[in-house]
Amino acid sequence: MFLPITNVPRDYAWGSTDAIATLLGRTPSGRPEAELWLGAHPASPSIVVNPAVVDGAATLADWIEAEPERALGQGRRHLPFLMKVLAAASPLSIQAHPTPEQARQGFARENREGVPLVASERNYKDPFPKPEIIYALSETFDALCGFRPVDEALADVEAVDAGSGRLAALREHLSESLESTVAWLFDDESADETIAAVGELAAAQVAAGGGVSPSVATVAQLAGLYPGDAGVVISLLLNRVTLKRGEALFLPAGNIHAYLGGLGIELMAPSDNVLRGGLTPKHVDVAELLTVLEFEPLPLPYLRPTEQGAGVERFDPTDVGFALLHVVPGESGAVVPLGGPSIVLVTDGELHLKGQDGNVRVSRGEAVYVTPDEWRLAVTGTGEAFVATSA
């Protein structure tokens, strides 16, 4: 079964005013449009275009609750992913997400404490982890992700300091450990002078012209947006990456990250659990964030695709329950195997999808939910689609 779905973009302040609308062939609203959610998460479940075909269910979440076996297949109780179109015109917060056990415990704890699910200070809005893929749709997509080796961070600290001696305390903490440095920056008033100095020195270097590293340029940008925020200095400790269109990252639990700007397809577990440490006017809980962070420096977490037949790329992290497929059918079409319930979003042209029992035409900007009984799609036409599927 193919069920056309849609949604209203979420209007977070960091969102682009036109990127999502332009991608999907819609008229821009003039307001920030940060994320378009496609899935069944209760915070913004997809809207069913024609409720009559699913006994009046207004949203995908309503239909799944009413007919879980028909919607999800035998043995499933929830959709194992949430697909988003993300458009960042300015940086998002520095954040990380919990492991499955941390999410279960945190959700139960805040329930016991009586913290309302809609409260701004709530950390755990559901009992699920939030590993995620980000796929670059814009020509470039900039991000911070994971701690980099301390010697690399120290090299940029020296470059920013430029012999002034104002960053001696930061160098001293970094020589001890990354974890103690992060805790000091986030939660010790004695770090305030260093935080201010890093922003001032980086901004002065950028203003003076000449060559600065992308990490230092990012520090100057963030200091202008969030002066005095510990996240400005934390950004200097993280890997700075620019994805080209078609490249992807996978961010597991505990990976500290921040998206800086660009348009992308995001695929994640069906969770809205975000632990923030800075660069945001939203709720920040440094103590809780520190409990979930992985401090070991890691290489850039690129997610390489595998070819799954002509015109199909598969981005498939290990043991997360979902995969992202990029589909551009050629003259002979493409065959897309599905792992269970899926969502197809067409971002260009018009495609014809034929499953085992049904078929549908989907044009640019349209999305369909695919029930597991279809299990494989024959895709023809001229265009581009992204498929979120169970794994």
Q: What is the pLDDT of residue 82?
A: 97
- What sign has the CA pseudo-torsion 247, 252, 258, 259? positive
Q: Is the pLDDT of residue 245 over 80?
A: yes
Q: Is the pLDDT of residue 183 over 90?
A: yes
| pLDDT band, very low/low/confident/very high, at 294 (cuts 50, 70, 90) | very high
Residues 6+ apart with CB under 8 A from 69: none
Residues 6+ apart with CB under 8 A from 14: 32, 34, 88, 89, 90, 91, 92
Q: What is the pLDDT of residue 186?
A: 93
Residue-wise pLDDT tens digits, 53-94: 999 999 999 999 999 999 999 989 999 999 999 999 999 999
Q: What is the pLDDT of residue 187?
A: 87
Residue length, the chain?
Answer: 391
Residue-wise pLDDT tens digits, 96-133: 999 999 999 999 999 999 999 999 999 999 999 999 99
Q: What is the pLDDT of residue 211?
A: 84
CA end-to-end distance (rounded Å), the chain: 19
- What sign has the CA pseudo-torsion 155, 156, 161, 167? negative
Mean local confidence (pLDDT), 168-189:
94
Report residue 222 as tokens: 């963030």
Residues 232 and 219 sit within 8 Å (Cβ to Cβ): yes
Residues 242 and 214 sit within 8 Å (Cβ to Cβ): yes
Taking the domains of the chain in order of start, what are their residue ranges? 145-237, 311-390
Residue-wise pLDDT tens digits, 200-210: 999 999 999 87
Residue-wise pLDDT tens digits, 300-312: 999 999 999 999 9
Residue-wise pLDDT tens digits, 259-282: 999 999 999 999 999 999 999 999
Distance in angstroms (rounded) separating the CA atoms of residues 110 and 92: 25
Q: Is the pLDDT of residue 299 over 90?
A: no
Residue-wise pLDDT tens digits, 15-61: 999 999 999 999 999 999 999 999 999 999 999 999 999 999 999 99
Per DSSP, 93 falls in state P
Q: What is the pLDDT of residue 298?
A: 84
Residues 25 and 90 sit within 8 Å (Cβ to Cβ): no
Cα Rg of the chain (Å, integer): 22
H or E stretch covering 20? helix 19-24
Lowest-confidence pick of 237-241, 281-285, 343-347: 281-285
Kindly list the distances between the CA atom of residue 343 and the CA atoms of 96, 335, 371, in Å, as whole numbers in the listed order. 26, 15, 9
Instruction: Print burial letters for 205-235: b (CB count within 10 Å at least 16), e (below 16).
Output: bbeeeeebbebbebbbbbbeebeebbbbbbb
CATH fold for domain 311-390: Jelly Rolls (2.60.120)
| pLDDT band, very low/low/confident/very high, at 345 (cuts 50, 70, 90) | very high
Distance in angstroms (rounded) separating the CA atoms of residues 75 and 22: 39
Report residue 163 as tokens: 């012999």
| pLDDT band, very low/low/confident/very high, at 151 (cuts 50, 70, 90) | very high
- Across-strand partners of 242? 142
Mind telling me the catalytic residues?
A: 276
8 C-beta neighbours (distance < 10 Å), count: 11
Residues 362 and 354 sit within 8 Å (Cβ to Cβ): no
Please state, rounded to an integer, the average pLDDT across all residues of the chain.
96
Mean local confidence (pLDDT), 289-315:
95
Residue-wise pLDDT tens digits, 349-368: 999 999 998 999 999 999 99
